[in-house]
Amino acid sequence: MNLKDKEKELNEVMSETIKKYYEEGNFHMVRKLKSVKEYYDHRNKLKSSDRLEPIGNPGSLMFVGLNPEEQSNMENAWEDLFGKELKSFLNLVGIDYKDVWLTNLWEKRTENNRPLNIDEISKGLKELDLEIYVMDPTLIILFGNQVIEALGGTKYGLGSYKGYKTFGMSHPSFIKRYAREDIKKEFIDHLETIKSYV
């Protein structure tokens, strides 16, 4: 589900759901739903053709890549090469890609797919911090060395970032590029490990 569809869905159920939680005295969820709505309003203001929008289901696994590549599909992250590769691996371990959240540290392409610079990482983290707070993931999966380092994660294991659990992994593109069975098996084993957080 893209942001536009998610916003439409939220608008349709927001008042009724907020009323329900209010009557139950669950004020945490009332505030949370309002935060999600405000976040989508914020995202709509940022939307442009040079940004790859995050996509998925809030409150579950959050997968964080680095940034779109030069040849990336900027309309739908799941139709991008990175998204397609990740989707195929998720299917192997029985995780429905529609139940997770897919995003990037930096939402724009870089020339010749160069690594992000310090300024891009700093600006990207500010936006990602807001995204993490609103989406409230059960686990944040960090793909690749630069993302792991930026969020202070642990490669091939559990870590934490601002109170949220993280798990550092190789990037799916790396797995595809080298196509070694031992590397692929390790990647799939890591996905099996994080499956319990869905």
**pLDDT tens digits for range 47-101:** 766 777 888 887 789 999 988 877 777 778 888 778 888 999 999 999 999 889 9
Q: Please check the confidence at residue 176 and state whether its pLDDT lies above 70.
A: yes
Q: What is the pLDDT of residue 134?
A: 83
DSSP per-residue string spanning 147-192: HHHHTT--BTSEEEETTEEEEEE--HHHHHHH--HHHHHHHHHHHH
Q: How far apart are CA 72 and CA 113, in angstroms?
A: 11
Q: 160's torsion region: left (phi>0), alpha (psi -120 to 50) or beta?
A: beta
Structural contact between residues 145 and 111, judged by C-beta atoms closer than 8 angstroms: no
Q: What is the pLDDT of residue 191?
A: 93
Kindly report which listed range (68-72, 151-155, 167-171) carries the lowest average pLDDT score.
Answer: 68-72
Q: What is the pLDDT of residue 18?
A: 62
Q: Please check the confidence at residue 11 and state whether its pLDDT lies above 60.
A: no
| Strands, E assignment, 99-150 | 101-104, 139-143
In CATH, the number for domain 52-197 is: 3.40.470.10
Q: How far apart are CA 9 and CA 13, in angstroms?
A: 7
More confident of the two residues 24 and 30:
24
More confident of the two residues 76 and 132:
132
Report how far apart, in Å, the C-alpha atoms of 188 and of each of 18, 74, 137 are. Answer: 39, 27, 21
**Where are the chain's structural domains?**
1-47, 52-197
The pTM of this model reads: 0.78
